[in-house]
């Protein structure tokens, strides 16, 4: 069981008081037995019964405490992943198609757009991806990991700068050796504590290409005693359609 802070204190006080009462009670009974007007054999039997009873009660109390501690130790976390592309709401993805470049099976996403002033172009930043993990429960998520499957996309080779422990690595490639999935490993030293929100290293997916009219991102979360898979559909639109929907867009990460 999981006790709130006040409940834990009360539980520990209760255990301590119970132990003291058992010990004091057993001592009193032993003293009474020693002074009882009975034969030595009867008094020894009574003292033995008291000691055995007190021992059993203390063993039962120890078992209760151990069971409570074990129950706390096996409680599972509840992790939730939040993804935010630069111009999109959290866990909602709409991306702008780029101009065809002659490729037959994969197509670009827009990197630069014509400036709204009518002069030159602007870097779009639509493929900057911020990710964070929330632990909704009060129990730590040990050995957390997150896999992102880019279904219907080809991910650029240089999508991440932080690698190794606490960073991103390539998790899956297709037959053409193009990257289709990325993996973040928290490891044993990066538990996500109860009620904590953990920001992961940002991904820059500039250069990502789409291969399906209805792509998606599958999110797979792991921790000790926990596993969850969810899918984010991705909508692909033209620049004109995106501008019509977002006349005054505000971009940024989670703090925007």
Instruction: Tell me the helices (H) and strands (E) count for the chain, helix number first.
Output: 3, 15
State the alpha helices, DSSP H only, in the chain.
Answer: 5-35, 40-73, 239-245
129: region left, alpha or beta (phi > 0 left; psi from -120 to 50 alpha) = beta
**How high is the pLDDT of residue 1?**
41
pTM metric for this prediction:
0.74
Low-confidence ranges of the chain (pLDDT < 50): 1-5, 256
Beta-bridge partners for 189: none
pLDDT score for 2: 45
CATH 2.60.40.10 fits 79-245, yes or no: yes
Integer Cα distance of 66 and 90 in angstroms? 42
Measured between alpha carbons, how far is 111 from 211 in angstroms, rounded to an integer?
17
pLDDT of res. 98: 94
The Cα 78–Cα 125 span in angstroms is 32
């Amino acid at each position: 069981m999981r006790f709130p802070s006040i409940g834990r204190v009360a539980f520990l006080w209760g255990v301590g008081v119970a132990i003291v009462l058992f010990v004091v009670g057993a001592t009193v009974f032993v003293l009474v037995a020693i002074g009882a007007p009975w034969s030595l054999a009867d008094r020894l039997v009574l003292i033995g019964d008291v000691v055995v009873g007190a021992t059993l009660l203390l063993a039962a109390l120890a078992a209760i405490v151990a069971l409570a501690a074990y129950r706390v130790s096996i409680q599972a976390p509840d992790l939730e992943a939040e993804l935010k592309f630069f111009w999109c709401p959290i866990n909602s993805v709409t991306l702008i198609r780029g101009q065809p470049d002659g490729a037959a099976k994969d197509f670009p996403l827009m990197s630069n757009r014509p400036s709204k002033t009518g002069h030159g172009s602007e870097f779009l930043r639509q493929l900057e991806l911020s990710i964070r993990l929330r632990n909704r429960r009060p129990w730590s998520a040990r050995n957390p990991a997150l896999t992102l499957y880019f279904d219907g996309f080809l991910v650029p080779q240089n999508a991440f700068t932080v690698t190794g422990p606490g960073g991103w690595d390539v998790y899956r490639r297709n037959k053409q050796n193009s990257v289709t999935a990325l993996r973040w490993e928290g490891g044993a030293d990066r538990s996500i504590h109860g009620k904590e929100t953990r920001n992961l290293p940002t991904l820059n997916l500039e250069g990502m290409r789409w291969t399906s009219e209805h792509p998606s991102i599958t999110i797979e979360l792991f921790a000790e005693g926990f596993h969850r898979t969810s899918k984010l559909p991705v909508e692909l639109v033209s620049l004109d359609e995106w501008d019509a929907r977002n006349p005054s867009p505000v971009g940024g990460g989670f703090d925007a």
